[in-house]
A and B are shown apart, each in its own frame.
Chain A
Amino acid sequence: MESKVSRRQFLRLAGGAAGAVALAACAAPVAPSGSGEEAMSQEKIVIRYAGLDGMGARVEAFMLPWVEDNGYELERGAFGQQELTDKIMQSVATDTYLADIFQFPSNARADVIGAGALQEIPTEVLEAIDFDDVLPGIVNTLSWEGKIYALPYDGDIHYYSFRKDLFANEDINSRFKDAYGYDLSPDTGAVTWDQWRNICEFFTGWDWNENGDDDDFGAACMTKRGDTLWWGFNSRATAYAKHPDDDSYFIDLDTGEARLNNPGFVRALTEWVEEMQNWAPPGGTNFTYGDSLNAMNGGRVAQTYNWDAVTSATSPETSVIQGLQGYNILPGSHEVFNSKSGEWDYFDIPSHAPFHAFGGWVIAVSAQVDELAYDAVWGFVTHLTKPESGLAFVTDLTGASPYRFSQMDAVEEFATGPLQLGEEVAMDYLNAARETLDHPNAVTDQAFGGWVQYRDALELGVSKALANELPPQDALDEVAAAFNEISERMGGLQHQAELYARTLGK
């Protein structure tokens, strides 16, 4: 006999089955059965780590033996750079769990630490990793109101890099001297931004790389909005706009008023627009940081400034200038704008104001750390950030830069280790890092609350000037107005000035 199920009967059956499944799902879990070993393995402590995809993979490879030796498990969340920052910021803002340990950009510290999202680093951990060995410029990026909330991993700063071989070439140097009246220095490269401009102009438009193509230019910088323009522009501006006698840079520490449209910033932008439009490769006003690195490593520009200047330049797959590059602190200036007096001050010895661009990725433990994994998590971060581990990271092809005094002395490891820099380049690189991170007039990156909005406002204005949509002064007037408006929305100018002081360790 043929049996038929009507549509209504079918729906009732499906509804009943769904209800039964839902009830089963809601029922109390059944206690684990089987051997004690199985039960143990089910309770294995899991350490959850969220970080950048590339860097996180290296952390995982490095930490896995330690994790396995201790009988733990590691779950790694891998994200792109912007995605990771967004995830962290959103988990902080909505007070939701992301991971036990996360890697985060240090200039989000006001947003992250200020929201109470991190555990304070215990004294035992600080002692175990020899925290006193960390350079002051990096300590500042790990701290909030005098307490340490994060551990160092990467001393991200901008290095000035230049073609040592070209600057040492006698023929090139004599032509340069004829044109500008002084010698190119293969030891230091450009010491001031005026020299940088001369070098930009001189190396544009003739075949110094001898490949027969019209592809030789003075410099390449990160200029693309939404990429790394913020750091590209600020590294160019600090020497003019950060006075040694004044702690303020982005906003006035007393009033909270934006300083972005003062003559120091305007001069920097005016010159930068000219350089990127005339002396950079085609498309130079819209370069990502990768584009600018590629132009340098591809042997098409004579100088640049960037973060990971070493790793990519050493690889034969990505560079034609292995061993030919010199490093130094960012150029300085004889004239610095004094916001207090409203005048330009002249310095016989160029004033430098190296920009701690980005300030580096740091490692932190979430306030919502899984209680079961508490000890394992602190063991993990201690092992990851202790001096021996740190040295292994910064001397390998990880993209991480040095951040400890002891690392600055490890010339041998940088010269002959995986980076294979050779002694001269290693010395240049480490001296530049030490001088930048330990400089009394260094500029700490913007880290007071709402940094993403400030960053977007500045990038919009500067990119308008780079695209000739607005003259530099008008573009920066817009930026300053936007800064003040953002400050008002973030709690008021005074409130933001107080946060700014805290990010400077005041």
Chain B
Amino acid sequence: MATEPRIFSTKRSRFEIRDNLWKWIFLLPAVAIILILLAIPVLWTLYAAFTDLHLYRIGDFETQFVGLANFEKLLSNRSFWRTVRNTVVFMLGVVPAQLIIGLTVALALNNITRGQKLFRTWFLMPLMVSPVVVSFIVGRMLFQEDIGPINDILRNMGFEGVPWLTSPTWAMVALMAIDVWQWSSFMILMLLAALKGVPPDLHEAARVDGANQLQGFWRITVPLIMPITMTALLIRIIDAFKVVEIIMVLTGGGPGQATESVTLAIYRTGVKGGDLAFGSSQAYFLLLVLMIFGGAYLVMTRRAMGKD
């Protein structure tokens, strides 16, 4: 029986081993930094979630292992679930709006021939401003109920002033408006990049075949920009789940608890309040939700795009 000639040797040469050694030596600092900055805090937080660790407890108390007690408390804590509901409402309000605005503006920018760079820069400006500054200037000043310019304009037009920050519904609307104003730019940037990647030849060919503009958009543009769109959506959904700065500055989570997000609740419990144990369990809940959602989203996206 003839044997096939060995094209590649499976035995690793001394050179290869030495080469791999160098690779590992150079990788080591990066691995160590990742371990220190990521793995240790993540594992430590996991440990804290199963204890009664509290930063500000006075007296001789030993930190105790409490099993699932923090997670049980989490499940029965109405305040926490209110923050989950608020966060989901916020996310559902801002992400679709940003997608629609982002796509509309990106399509317009992609089709104009003059001043495209100017408008592109203009639309990206909100992205360059700190969320805290946006919340203070756009939020606290514009939406000030008593002497703010929006209510002033409304009153001068004969309407009632809107209780932007004292009505649970309007406070959420004000927060959404700020977030949409700032982060639509991100969608514009991503979708414009995606549109630039669509080859014009395809549209020309479709036109020759008798397709109108709408058909060209649905059949050619949308499928081609879909991968970047889905990625941008995922980034924005995760960001919306983690929203905290604008809420802290604008409403502080109020009125009542109407605008308190999960991340703000974690910050208040763990960082400010010092209850690291319960704060850690809340943080792990958020991490778990985001991981499950992110994983499911990616699987569904790949299936929808026929890559599975």
- Find out whether the CB atom of B257 lies under 8 angstroms from the CB atom of A464: yes
In the bound complex, residues from chain A placing their C-beta under 8 Å from that of B278 are 489
B163 touches A283 (CB 8 A): yes
Q: Mark A221-234, 1 if CB is under 8 A from B, else 0.
A: 00011110000000
Q: Assess whether B274 is interfacial by the CB under 8 Å rule.
A: yes
CB B267 to nearest CB in A, in angstroms, measures: 10
Give chain B residues whose Cβ lies under 8 Å from the Cβ of A90.
Answer: 55
Q: Is B20 an interface residue (CB 8 A)?
A: no
Band of interface residues on A = 35 or more
Q: What 1/0 flags go to B259-297 for Cβ under 8 Å of A?
A: 000000000110111110010000000000000000000
Contacts of B268 in A (CB 8 A): 456
Q: In the bound complex, do residue B144 and residue A225 qualify as a contact, i.e. CB atoms below 8 Å apart?
A: no
Q: Are B52 and A489 in contact, with the CB atoms below 8 A?
A: yes
Are A15 and B58 neighbours in the complex by a CB distance under 8 Å? no
Q: How far, in Å, is A152 (CB) from chain B's closest CB?
A: 23
* B252 & A281 in contact (Cβ 8 Å cutoff): no
Contact with A along B53-97 (1 / 0, CB 8 A): 011111101000000000000000001000000000000000000
Pairwise interchain contact A460-B274, C-beta atoms closer than 8 A: no
Q: Which residues of A contact B168 (CB under 8 A)?
A: 467, 469
**Stretch among A40-48, A321-329, A446-454 lining the B interface:** A446-454
Q: Which residue of B lies closest to A280 (CB)?
A: B146
Candidates B52, B59, B255, B274; contact of A285 at CB < 8 Å: B255
Is B256 on the interface with A (CB-CB < 8 A)?
A: yes
Check if B274 sits within 8 Å of A93, measured CB to CB.
Answer: yes
Fill in one digit per residue for B168-206: 1 if any A CB lies within 8 Å of its CB, else 0: 100000000000000000000000000000000000000
- Does chain B have a CB within 8 A of A421? no
Asked whether A227 lies within 8 Å of B252 as measured between CB atoms, the reply is yes
Given contacts A225-B252, A285-B166, contact A452 B272 (CB under 8 A): yes
CB pair B145 A283 closer than 8 Å: yes
Instruction: Choose among B52, B57, B167, B256 the residue that contacts A450 (Cβ–Cβ < 8 A).
Output: B57
Check if B151 is an interface residue, CB within 8 A of chain A: yes
Q: Does A385 contact B (CB under 8 A)?
A: no
Task: State the CA gap A319–B255 with chains docked (Å).
Answer: 29
Would you give the shortest CB distance from B51 to chain A, in whole angstroms?
12
| B151 nearest in chain A by CB position | A282
Min distance, Cβ A376 to any Cβ of chain B, angstroms: 31
Write the nearest CB–CB distance from B74 to chain A, whole angstroms: 13
Considering the chains assembled together, what is the distance between the CA atoms of A489 and B273 in angstroms?
12
Those of A1-27 within 8 Å (CB) of chain B:
8, 11-12, 15
- Is B256 a contact partner of A463 (Cβ separation < 8 A)? yes
Q: Which listed residue (A283, A449, A460) contacts B165, Cβ 8 A?
A: A283
Q: Is the CB of B273 within 8 A of A453?
A: yes
Also in contact, A460 and B79, with CB within 8 A (given A86-B271, A226-B248): yes
A224: chain B residues at CB < 8 Å are: 252, 254
B252 to chain A: closest residue by CB:
A226
Chain B residues with CB below 8 A from A453, complex form: 269, 273-275
- Decide: A460 near B257, CB < 8 A? Known: A286-B166, A489-B52: yes
Cβ B58 vs Cβ A469 within 8 A = no
Question: Complex: how many Å from CA A453 to CA B278?
Answer: 12
Task: Report A-chain residues with C-beta under 8 Å of the C-beta of B26.
Answer: 11, 15
- Segment of A110-118, A125-133, A257-265, A343-351 engaged in the interface with chain B: A110-118
Interface of chain A, main secondary structure = helix
A79 CB, min distance to chain B CBs, angstroms: 15
Q: How far is the CB of B21 from chain A (nearest CB, A)?
A: 12
- Smallest Cβ distance from A106 to chain B, in angstroms? 16
Interface string of B21-61 (1 = CB under 8 A from A): 01001100000000000000000000000001011111101
- CB of B102 within 8 Å of the partner chain: no
Are A282 and B146 neighbours in the complex by a CB distance under 8 Å?
A: yes
Contact A466 B253 (CB under 8 A): no
Tell me whether B256 and A452 are in contact (CB under 8 A).
no
User: Chain B contacts of A372 at CB under 8 A?
Assistant: none
Instruction: Indicate which residue in A15, A89, A295 contacts B55 across the interface (CB closer than 8 Å).
Output: A89
Contact B56 A449 (CB under 8 A): yes
CB distance from A288 to the nearest CB of B (A): 9
Within the complex, which residue of A281, A456, A467, A490 is in contact with B57, where a contact is CB–CB below 8 Å?
A490
Is the Cβ of A15 less than 8 Å from the Cβ of B25?
Answer: yes
Q: Considering the complex, give the chain A residue whose CB is closest to the CB of B164.
A: A283
* A491 contacts the other chain (CB 8 A): yes
Tell me if B126 counts as interface (CB < 8 A to partner A): no
Contacts of A433 in B (CB 8 A): none
A450 contacts B56, C-beta separation under 8 Å: yes
What secondary structure prevails in chain B residues at the interface with A? Answer: loop
Q: Which of B58, B167, B254, B274 contacts A110 (CB 8 A)?
A: B58
Say yes or no for A495: interface residue by CB 8 A criterion: yes
- Those of A285-327 within 8 Å (CB) of chain B: 285-286, 291, 295
> A491 contacts B61, CB within 8 Å?
yes
Which residue in chain A gives the minimum CB-CB distance to B78? A478
Min CB–CB distance A310 → chain B (angstroms): 24
Q: How far is the CB of A414 from chain B (nearest CB, A)?
A: 31
Contact of A11 with B146 in the complex, beta carbons under 8 Å: no
Assembly CA distance A225 to B251 (angstroms): 8
Contact in complex: B255, A89 (CB < 8 Å):
no
Bound: A291/B141 CA distance, A: 12
- Kindly state whether residue A499 has any CB partner on chain B within 8 Å: yes
B258 contacts A by Cβ under 8 Å = yes
A237 to chain B minimum Cβ distance, whole angstroms, is: 19
Q: Is the CB of A491 within 8 A of B58?
A: yes
Q: Are B272 and A469 in contact (CB under 8 A)?
A: no
Q: For the complex, is B161 an interface residue (Cβ under 8 Å from A)?
A: yes
CB distance from A484 to the nearest CB of B (A): 14
Query: Could you tell me the distance between the alpha carbons of A464 and B258 in the complex, rounded to whole angstroms?
Result: 9
- For B166, list chain A residues within 8 Å (CB): 283-286, 466-467
- Tell me the nearest residue of chain A to B155, going by C-beta: A214
B254 touches A467 (CB 8 A): yes
Interchain CB contact under 8 A, B22 and A11: yes
Cβ-defined contact, A452 with B58, below 8 A: no
Let me know if A226 and B253 touch, CB within 8 A. yes
Q: Known contacts being A89-B56, A225-B252, is A467 close to B25, with CB within 8 Å?
A: no
Residues of B within 8 A of A114 (CB): 58-59
CB pair A466 B255 closer than 8 Å? yes
Closest to A12 in B: B22
Bound: A425/B164 CA distance, A = 37
Query: Considering the chains assembled together, what is the distance between the CA atoms of A111 and B54 in angstroms?
Result: 12
Q: Is the CB of B272 within 8 A of A286?
A: no
**A225→B273 contact, CB < 8 A:** no
List, sorted by A's number, 17 A–B pairs whose CB atoms are closer than 8 Å: A225-B252, A225-B256, A226-B254, A283-B164, A284-B146, A285-B255, A286-B165, A452-B274, A453-B269, A456-B272, A465-B256, A466-B255, A467-B258, A469-B168, A489-B278, A491-B57, A499-B58
Residues of A within 8 A of B (CB): 8, 11-12, 15, 86, 89-90, 93-94, 110-111, 114-115, 224-227, 281-286, 291, 295, 449-450, 452-453, 456, 460, 463-467, 469-470, 489-491, 495, 499
Nearest first, the 7 closest Cβ-Cβ pairs linking A and B are A226-B252, A467-B255, A283-B145, A464-B256, A467-B256, A93-B55, A469-B256
- For the A-B complex with A94-B55, A491-B58 known, give 19 more contacts whose Cβ atoms are closer than 8 Å: A12-B22, A114-B59, A115-B58, A283-B165, A284-B166, A285-B166, A285-B255, A286-B255, A449-B57, A452-B272, A452-B274, A453-B275, A456-B273, A460-B79, A460-B257, A465-B256, A466-B255, A489-B278, A490-B54
